[in-house]
Amino acid sequence: MADPLSRSPASPRSPAAGPPDPRQARVGSPAGEHLLRVTLACNQRCGFCNADGNAPDSCRGRVHVQAELSRVAAAGVTRVTFTGGEPTTLADLAELVGDARAAGMTWIGLQTNATMLGSRPGLARDLAGRGLRAAFVSLHAPEAALADALTVSPGGHALTVAGVRAAIDAGIAVNLNAVLCAPNAGGVDAHLRWTWREFGRDGGTRVLSVVAPVARAWENRHLIPRLSAVAAGLRAALPAAERLGMRVQIPALCGMPLCLLGGVERFADELHWPGAPPLVPARTYLASCSGCVHRARCSGIWKRYLTLYGPAEFVPVTRSP
């Protein structure tokens, strides 16, 4: 077998192209898409997980999932993403994907760590055959030791990489998500370059989330980095990734305020999503935010973050980028 690091970024499924427009092909939850939490169980134990095991929107068993699919289909929803926990721990996940298709879903996605796709031969093809279109895969570091430590999953990194390959080979569109926390936030450039060598354009959009001070992450608050330090790494890494041809995205609630992203705002969801930002009680604005050009589209700052590090990092932007 060839060294995976020697693979060309441009595969037959991924023709060469110029630098992408960062405003296009954004990953997220567009209007009409429903996130369906089919389990709270997970085969990893990430210290930064934003789920606390008590999500009120979780479904309990196939009958409940079928009922929820019928409910949202009647409301006109045609896109659904299965999330968790880790959905691939369910023995009947393929049947649930088939149920979604039977309910009228025209697009079916999966949020996953992909380890089961890597360890169960044929699972990715079975899911694709039932109608799975896309997988949003958590992959937090290029180094196996660091990734396995972050997920508390010895051997997990290798299985995730194998799972991504299995999904790609099955024709499932893959996008990769890294949660930036204190141990890995300084390696954004190396991480992006590694994913490019590994998967090229088949790795889809590289989403760079930032650990949120909620649930398990708040219990492990030593993992929460200063956002200004993370932003400095993003400013150094993202233009280079763009030149390689990568699509990179910083999500909204799982990202950081635009005031910290001077020079790379174009990669942020909040700069492009229409309408007002979501109102989250756990977030707030500073008095000085009223004078920021980004105020109308900013979803604010986590209150708990301010208790850790204070407000000094957040300086209003007075001129449009």
Structure confidence by residue, pLDDT tens digits, 192-248:
999 999 999 999 999 999 999 999 999 999 999 999 999 999 999 999 999 999 999
Quote the CA–CA distance of 311 and 18 in Å, as a whole number.
Answer: 39
pTM of structure: 0.89
Q: Please report the pLDDT score of residue 42 as a whole number.
A: 95
Average pLDDT of the segment spanning 253-277: 92
Q: Please report the pLDDT score of residue 185 as a whole number.
A: 97
For the segment 115-137, what is each residue's pLDDT rounded down to a tens digit?
999 999 999 999 999 999 999 99
Span of 78-92, 268-282, 283-297 with lowest mean pLDDT: 268-282
Q: Please report the pLDDT score of residue 20 as a whole number.
A: 39
- Average pLDDT value over all residues in the chain: 89
Average pLDDT of the segment spanning 288-307: 96
Work out the percent of the chain whose per-residue pLDDT is above 90: 82
Which pair of tokens denotes residue 229?
A: 């330090």
